[in-house]
Amino acid sequence: MQHVGKLIGSNWGGTMDFEPKRWRLLADALYDIGTGLEVLSPWCPHLFLEMAGLGNFAKGMAVVAARATRLPIYSSFAKEGNLSDLFAKGEAFSTLFNVIGIGVGIQLASTICASMQGKVKSFYLFVPGL
């Protein structure tokens, strides 16, 4: 499903040049929705395949939009032909914050979520509005 999402998302590539920030924001929202569907899919076993598939579909479209808008956004920051340096720094920051996020997630899982009461509290902390 992720590959199907990428193929469908690639059809919009020409329109992404005109409003890269809007498409990048849409990509982030689609990725979050897709991840949310994947996380929630085990709680709905009768709809597991549909939810996980739709989540992967959304994430595929998000990846295309994010990658397609990266160059125009980075180009707007390049002042002296340092586009490669900007890409390298962007990847470094992305990797750094992914590693920090994994560490925080492991810490939360091993402390707060160790008991059932902690799992319930953390669920309501991260899922607002319930």
Q: What is the pLDDT of residues 86-98, one digit of tens each?
A: 888 888 998 999 9
Evaluate whether 37 touches 55 at the Cβ level (below 8 Å): yes
pLDDT given for residue 55 in this prediction: 94
- List, as own/partner pairs, every contact residues 116-121 make where C-beta atoms lie below 8 angstroms and the sequence separation is at least 24, other chains included: none
Identify the CA nearest to 37 among candidates 46, 26, 28, 49: 49
Tens digit of each residue's pLDDT (9 = 90 or more) over 5-54: 888 888 887 788 788 889 999 999 999 999 999 988 888 889 999 999 99
- Reported confidence tier of residue 104, pLDDT bands at 50, 70, 90: confident
Tokens for 96? 């750094």
The pair phi, psi for residue 12, each rounded to 5°, is -95, 5
Nearest 10 degrees: Cα torsion 24, 25, 27, 31: 140
- Between CA 64 and CA 71, with CA 65 as vertex, the angle to 5 degrees is 100
